[in-house]
Structures are given as structure tokens and as C-alpha cells.
Amino acid sequence: MDRHQGGETIGITIKTLPEEELFTSGHTACGGCGAPIVVRAAMKILGPNTVTYFPACCLLVFGGTYPHNAFKVPYLHVLFENSAICAAGIKQALNKQGKEDVNVVAFAGDGGTGDIGFQALSGAAERNEDILYICYDNEAYMNTGIQRSGSTPFGAWTTTTPAGTKIGGKELFKKDIPKIMMAHNVPYVATASVGHPADMLRKIEKAKNMKGFRYLQIFAPCPTGWRMDTAKTVEVAKKAVNSGMWTLFEMVDGVITLSVKPKMEPVDDYLKMQGRFRHLTDEQIKIIQGWAYKKNEMDLKFVEAFSEDKKE
């Protein structure tokens, strides 16, 4: 059974994106941060008839420090690990007040989403709460000073996976949160990237216009935590997709489509741009390359298995 309604888009593009800023300048993100690119665009699409929720994360701090705030729309923060349920609580209360038309969106980091916040996220998804959940994935706990998260990739330096003499960076692989969300059988799950804006805008707009639980995970590089040139935020995001380190797809009612077919360029270029991978040995780079190939292969099979024509 299709669980969603809507999802129609008028095809918002960079050209037609409204000029009005609902997430204003003056926020205090580090220069070149990927997260505000996501938030600024998403707020333009969601529009003023929106209530927002934020867990503890970089965005909470750089988006507003009392008494100042960059958001012009209603804004709630409660805690770190309850974004999905807080958004759901807001939505239920709005519905009770007859304000069914208000969009409710939670923006959360990868840690607040896939690690500590996963229980609330999974619960809200299972109940198909009518909210849009946007995870900006910067692959670590940045707000507390660059500690590893489940979303940190293999080999990456963080302050809790230092490049030591015995162990060089993270020894485990990136948790595939979007796939876990797909297993919840919610109306919409998609990945996006600040390096592919047209695709990102289309997905945000589509998710906005659907009902039920919608999950978007958007790749948003953090130049501070990734130890890289602030000018390269978008470039590195593009390279992640082109090398298969991050895959763009979407799932609408159980049908999965690949949004951009990975070119499977060697991962070296992508890794070399970032100081967090500076210490990697050839052996480690080989492991990462192997991971990208394997992931790509599995993704293709996955897409094939859940394609439109496999739907009965």
C-alpha cells in the first residue's frame, strides 16, 4: 500500500529558488561550512509556513546563540537525541489546532541521527509520523570538536580515532543510515549532496510535498573537521559522489532509483583533498577503494531488486 500522498513538484531550481532568506546571514558557522548551504536552500523551499527543530549539533550553535537567531521561522531545541520525536510532537499538536498545512522539519547532524538519536528516529519512522527529517552528514561529531561517529568513514582521522603510530584513524566503516531508514518502509528516503544542487533541491521539494515520514540525508562537508581548504567544500562533495564514496538515490514507496550513476573514479583524488586522510597508508587506501567498489556493486543490485518493474 502506498503510504504517502503528494510529492508533486513544480521543479524548483537554482534559477527559481526564492531570494528571501529564512535562515539569515550573520550565523556563526565556520567559513566554508557545508551545513548552512543545505539549511539555507531547504528553508527557501520549505517557506515561511514551517516549524523547525534542532538537536544539539553545530547547527544549533551557529544557527542561534541567545538572544540571536538566524531562523525567521519558529524554532525549537529540546535535546540531542530526540529530534524525530520532538518534530512529531510539534506536528501532532499543530494538527490538533487545525494547522495541518504547516511543514515540520527537523535538521540534525549524523551523530544526532544515526547514533544517539536513532531510537527516536526509528520509532517516529515506524509510526510514520508526518514530518520531514533532514540529516546533514558531516561524518563526525563536529560540535564537540571532531569525534568519530557511526557515520565517519574508514581511515578518517578524528580526535577519538587519531592517526596514531599503531592505529591510523577509524578502523570501522561508515554506517549506512539511509538503508536502515529504507527498511522502515517509510514513504520517502533519499540521499543528496551539496555538490549536486539540482538533485538536492528536487528531493527537498518532493519531500516537502509528501505526507508521512520523509528522510533525507545530505552530504555536507565540514572543512574544519575534514582539515581541508574552505573553498573546496562543494568540490569535495562532488568528488565523493563521483568516486562512489557517497551514493545518490531515492526510494519512493518502496521503489528505489539511482539519481546519479557513480563514475567510480579512483578514490585517491577525493582522499587527497582532505587532511583527515593524510596519514593513510597505501594499504588503507586500497581498503577504501575496495569498499567503494563493493558498495557500488551492492547498491546497483539493490536498485535493480527494488526497481519500478519489480513492483507487483
Ligand X SMILES: Cc1ncc(C[n+]2csc(CCOP(=O)(O)OP(=O)(O)O)c2C)c(N)n1
- Judged by the rule CB under 6 A, the positions of this chain that interact with ligand X are 56-59, 80-81, 109-112, 138, 140-144, 149
Query: Which CB, 40 or 184, lies closer to ligand SF4?
Result: 40
Select the binding partner of residue 80 from ligand SF4, ligand X, Mg ion, none (C-beta < 5 to 8 A, by kind).
Answer: ligand X
Q: How many residues bind another protein (CB under 8 A)?
A: 83
Which one of residues 2, 10, 96, 283 is an interface residue with another protein (CB under 8 A)? 96
Select the binding partner of residue 222 from Mg ion, ligand SF4, another protein, none (C-beta < 5 to 8 A, by kind).
Answer: ligand SF4
Q: Rule CB under 6 A: which of 225-244 touch ligand SF4?
A: 225
Backbone angles phi, psi at 200, to 5 degrees: -65, -45
Which one of residues 156, 222, 248, 292 is an interface residue with ligand SF4 (CB under 6 A)? 222
Q: Are 195 and 166 in contact (CB under 8 A)?
A: no
Select the binding partner of residue 112 from ligand X, another protein, Mg ion, none (C-beta < 5 to 8 A, by kind).
Answer: ligand X
Backbone angles phi, psi at 40, to 5 degrees: -60, -45
Q: Rule CB under 6 A: which of 245-304 touch ligand SF4?
A: none
C-alpha separations of 245 from 34, 278, 300 in Å: 17, 17, 14
In the complex, minimum distance from the CB of residue 104 to ligand X, in angstroms, rounded to a whole number: 19
Strand 50-53, strand 188-193: pairing = unpaired
Rounded to 10°, the helix 35-46/197-208 angle is: 40
In the complex, minimum distance from the CB of residue 158 to ligand X, in angstroms, rounded to a whole number: 11
Which one of residues 14, 166, 263, 312 is an interface residue with another protein (CB under 8 A)? 14
Strand 214-219, strand 132-137: pairing = parallel
Query: Which CB, 125 or 146, lies closer to Mg ion?
Result: 146
User: What span, in angstroms and rounded, lies between the C-alpha atoms of 15 and 208?
Assistant: 19
Q: Rule CB under 6 A: which of 53-92 touch ligand SF4?
A: 58, 62
User: What span, in angstroms and rounded, lies between the C-alpha atoms of 41 and 56?
Assistant: 21
Tell whether residue 131 is a contact of ligand SF4 (CB under 6 A): no
Which one of residues 4, 12, 33, 245 is an interface residue with another protein (CB under 8 A)? 33
Query: Which CB, 145 or 290, lies closer to ligand X?
Result: 145
Q: Rule CB under 8 A: which of 266-305 touch another protein?
A: none
Q: Pseudo-torsion of CA 39, 257, 151, 211, nearest 10°?
A: 50
CA angle 131, 303, 8 (to 5 degrees): 40
Q: Rule CB under 6 A: which of 15-44 touch ligand SF4?
A: 29-30, 33, 35
Q: Rule CB under 8 A: which of 196-255 touch another protein?
A: 197, 223-224, 229-235
In the block, residue with C-alpha cell 531550481: 13
In the block, residue with C-alpha cell 557545508: 34
Q: E-strand spans in the chain?
A: 50-53, 64-65, 68-69, 75-76, 103-109, 132-137, 188-193, 214-219, 249-252, 255-258
Query: Which CB, 112 or 187, lies closer to ligand X?
Result: 112
Q: What is the maximal distance between C-alpha atoms in the chain? A: 61
The residue ranges that bind ligand SF4 (CB under 6 A) are 29-30, 33, 35, 58, 62, 138, 142, 222-225
